[in-house]
Amino acid sequence: MNNPMEVSRLTPTPFEFAQLASFCKAAGDPLRLEILKVLSQNAYGVLELCQLFDVKQSGMSHHLKVLANAGLASTRREGNSIFYRRALGSDNPEIQPLHKALLNAVDSAAITPELADRIARLHRERSQLSLVFFEQNSERFKANQDLIAGYEQYGSSILELLDSAIDKRDTGVALEVGPGEGELLPELCRRFDQVIALDNSEQVLSLARQYAASHKLGNVRFILGDLLDPTPQIEPVNCITLNMVLHHIPNPSQAFANLSRMLRADGVLLVTDLCQHDQAWARDNCGDIWLGFESNELTDWAQAAGLEEGESLFLALRNGFQIQLRQFIKKGITP
């Protein structure tokens, strides 16, 4: 005869049936599955998703609510806007296998060329807005950025992670994406045979050139280009640094994928950026696209790009902001 306690444990509660029904409802619509596919790579606002799928706002809001209620989509507030991204797992262990199987199936499906074009166009629009800001505000950008976090507040911590990362590794070539005014360049030049500085703004790159010239840095090569653009071609390097750059990039997950391809096997990626915050003024004053990131977002993007997590540091600033310094290593052994 069955133990009554075992039967009770195996009997789903009404809440579990309701959660399962909610999950099945969310997964039972082709448009919602396509939305999940798109949300796997980036976060989007409601109006952006309306633009991508040519759906009215009321209809898109309904679909997103269904996905959120089922635990398939999560939200984050960016100032006065709410952005949606795909939830990675379910809190309910009974539904978790279904959740994983559904996302695997969604990821194996292809989006239409028309949708891919719309996504690419949206990312270009985001990039253009950021680029215009830097071109118009390059002279006062550092002063605005210092209102959040100046280099002197975290520069020494970057060097700690950098030195621990390059210990016993080849120090041939380093790439700094978004060198700003060039404060980190002297330290990179001392540690590497060659340094490449990549930026998509000629005005900002000019400031870095001036800084390098004033410090007599002879082993720096400056390249005008976009991290999300496959050109210019850069040979794989030993180390890449992103210093307060990621929150200006329209598609962070794609940035991680591209950075991984630009690293040699056993190469190191160092990312310094803001933790998620609610200071919306940073958008207008500093051209930020994203109001920082949750630590697990960077971890997820790095893992998807084939990078292993290394050391991490988190610094709390007096003005309420928090900075995360993250180290990621490309899987493999340097030949």
How confident is the model over 279-329, as pLDDT tens digits? Answer: 777 776 677 788 888 888 899 899 989 999 999 988 877 667 888 999 999
Q: How far apart are CA 323 and CA 314, in angstroms?
A: 6
306 within 8 A of 283, measured Cβ to Cβ: no
Give the DSSP letter of residue 275.
Answer: B
Tell me: pLDDT of 251 over 50. Answer: yes
pLDDT at 10: 54
pLDDT at 135: 61
Residues 6+ positions from 218 with CB-CB distance below 8 Å? none
Tell me the pLDDT band of 232, cut-offs 50, 70 and 90.
Answer: low
Mean pLDDT of 185-211: 93
- What's the rounded mean pLDDT across residues 254-259? 92
The pLDDT score that the predictor gives to residue 57 is: 93
Residue 184: which pLDDT band, with cuts at 50, 70 and 90?
Answer: very high
Q: How far apart are CA 45 and CA 75, in angstroms?
A: 9
How confident is residue 121, by pLDDT bands cut at 50, 70 and 90?
confident
Check residue 239 and give its pLDDT. 95
State residue 61's pLDDT score: 93
Please report the pLDDT score of residue 5 as a whole number. 47
Mean pLDDT of 150-164: 86
Is residue 268 scored above 80 in pLDDT? Answer: yes
What's the CA gap between 165 and 159, in Å, rounded? 10
Walk me through the domains of the chain, giving residue ranges and CATH numbers: 4-111 (1.10.10.10), 136-330 (3.40.50.150)
For residues 226-237, give the mean pLDDT.
81
The residue written with tokens 């970057």 in the block is 158
> Residue 335: which pLDDT band, with cuts at 50, 70 and 90?
very low
User: In angstroms, rounded to a whole number, what is the distance separating the alpha carbons of residues 34 and 36?
Assistant: 5
Q: Is pLDDT at 213 greater than 90 in this prediction?
A: yes
Distance, CA of 54 to CA of 50 (rounded, Å)? 5
DSSP letter assigned to residue 248: G
Question: Which residue would you say has higher pLDDT here, 16 or 63?
Answer: 63
pLDDT of residue 141 exceeding 60, the answer is no
Please give the mean pLDDT across all residues of the chain. 84
Does the pLDDT at position 13 exceed 60?
no
Rounded CA gap, 81 and 59, in Å?
18
Residue 54 binned pLDDT confidence (cut-offs 50, 70, 90): very high
Confidence band of 7 (pLDDT split at 50, 70, 90):
very low
Confidence at 277, pLDDT banded by 50, 70, 90:
confident
Task: Judge whether residue 146 has pLDDT over 80.
Answer: no
Instruction: List strands edge to edge, sheet with 237-243.
Output: 220-224, 194-199, 173-177, 237-243, 263-274, 322-330, 307-316
Q: Length of the chain, please?
A: 335
- Pick the more confident residue, 1 or 100: 100
In percent, how much of the chain has pLDDT > 70?
A: 83
Q: Enumerate residues 6+ apart whose C-beta is below 8 A from 115.
A: 34, 38, 52, 53
Residue 222 scores a pLDDT above 50: yes
